[in-house]
């Protein structure tokens, strides 16, 4: 039996496929929990993080559709908190049921996590993270005038609201998360990248209109708790170079220097694989004793037993 601490960052496909209903997402997480229980059976301390991009976009739509004086739409930090709570509940319950089925008595807790960002982060000026629905150019202009929001054209598909995506600086509930890990509990934390907050001059906190990249928040958490393994789960078993081309090549063991060279060659898609690669590079640079892996949920057994997936080493 091992006693490693493992941070697993779940990709969006572990929660949401094509059906955005609550029932479908809960069913997807039952499958996800079945795979994650393998880590717990192995004797590992497990901390799970997850994305919330589609969910927070859908919730924003629901709030905008019902927005009125009597029923005002909530700001983005509150919507991130709401999806962190709902996904945390689904995941917590799925894991509790999966552990019960295996006859394992282990508590599971979700921590509503505030993540501190720098109020002077350039991301607050260069808004880049698209969320919510697509608009025509006319609709986007009207919406921008009405709400003061910023809209950008998104890859020829229409105009979308863009928000800041600042880098995580500190995890406010770190001590709570560490206490739960030390007590042998399974922890769900930093969901959706955490709720973005900034520190005021007097040390108090306030939420901000932003979305933090979940891979970077997960990496920050993994470094802070000195995780032995940082596993980033995505839709493929390995990272590839020349992806979908005749000379496509699978990466198995790879160094930081090699990955940085591939980044210069634009090998990884900015919205999908690139942040995962960057987060794993940051992890092993900041905590060389740890090991980072990018793979799929279905490949988790292979990752644990035979070092499957793409293993990133300092």
| Residues catalogued as catalytic | 12-13, 129, 214, 276
SS (H, E, C) 48-86: EEECCHHHHHHHHHHHHHCCCCCCCCCCHHHHHHHHHHH
Rounded-to-integer distance, Cα 169 and Cα 219, Å: 11
Token code pair at residue 281: 């590079």
SS3 of the chain: helix, strand, coil, percent, to 5: 40, 25, 35
Which 8-state DSSP code applies to residue 240? E
Other Cβ atoms within 10 Å of 280 Cβ, number: 30
Q: What are phi and psi of 187, to 5 degrees?
A: -120, 135
Question: 181: helix, coil or strand?
Answer: helix
Rounded-to-integer distance, Cα 199 and Cα 265, Å: 38
CB proximity list for 259: less than 8 A, separation 6 or greater: 277, 280, 281, 312
């Amino acid at each position: 039996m091992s006693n490693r601490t493992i941070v697993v960052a779940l990709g969006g496909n572990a929660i949401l496929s094509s059906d955005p209903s609550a029932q479908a997402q809960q069913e997807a997480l039952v499958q996800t929990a079945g795979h994650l229980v393998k880590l717990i059976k192995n004797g590992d301390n497990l901390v799970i993080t997850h994305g919330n991009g589609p969910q927070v976009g859908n919730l924003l739509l629901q709030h905008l559709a019902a927005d009125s004086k009597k029923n005002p739409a909530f700001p983005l930090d509150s919507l991130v908190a709401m999806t962190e709570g709902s996904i945390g509940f689904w995941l917590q319950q799925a894991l509790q049921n999966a552990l019960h089925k295996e006859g394992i008595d282990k508590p599971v807790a979700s921590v509503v996590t505030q993540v501190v960002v720098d109020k002077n982060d350039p991301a607050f000026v260069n808004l880049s993270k698209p969320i919510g629905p697509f608009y025509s150019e006319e609709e986007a202009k009207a919406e921008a005038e009405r709400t003061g929001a910023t809209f950008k054209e998104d890859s020829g598909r229409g105009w979308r609201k863009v928000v800041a995506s600042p880098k995580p600086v500190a995890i406010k509930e770190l001590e709570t998360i560490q206490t739960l890990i030390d007590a042998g509990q399974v922890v769900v934390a930093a969901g959706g990248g955490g709720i973005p907050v900034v520190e005021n001059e007097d040390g108090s906190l306030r939420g901000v209109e932003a979305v933090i990249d979940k891979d970077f928040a997960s990496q920050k958490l993994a470094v802070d708790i000195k995780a032995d393994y940082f596993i980033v789960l995505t839709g493929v078993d390995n990272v590839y170079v020349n992806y979908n081309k005749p000379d496509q090549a699978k990466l198995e063991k790879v160094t930081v220097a090699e990955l940085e060279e591939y980044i210069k060659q634009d090998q990884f898609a900015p919205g999908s694989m690139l942040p995962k690669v960057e987060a794993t590079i940051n992890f092993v640079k900041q905590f060389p004793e740890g090991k980072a892996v990018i793979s799929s949920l279905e490949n988790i057994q292979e990752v644990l037993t035979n070092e499957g997936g793409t293993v990133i080493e300092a």
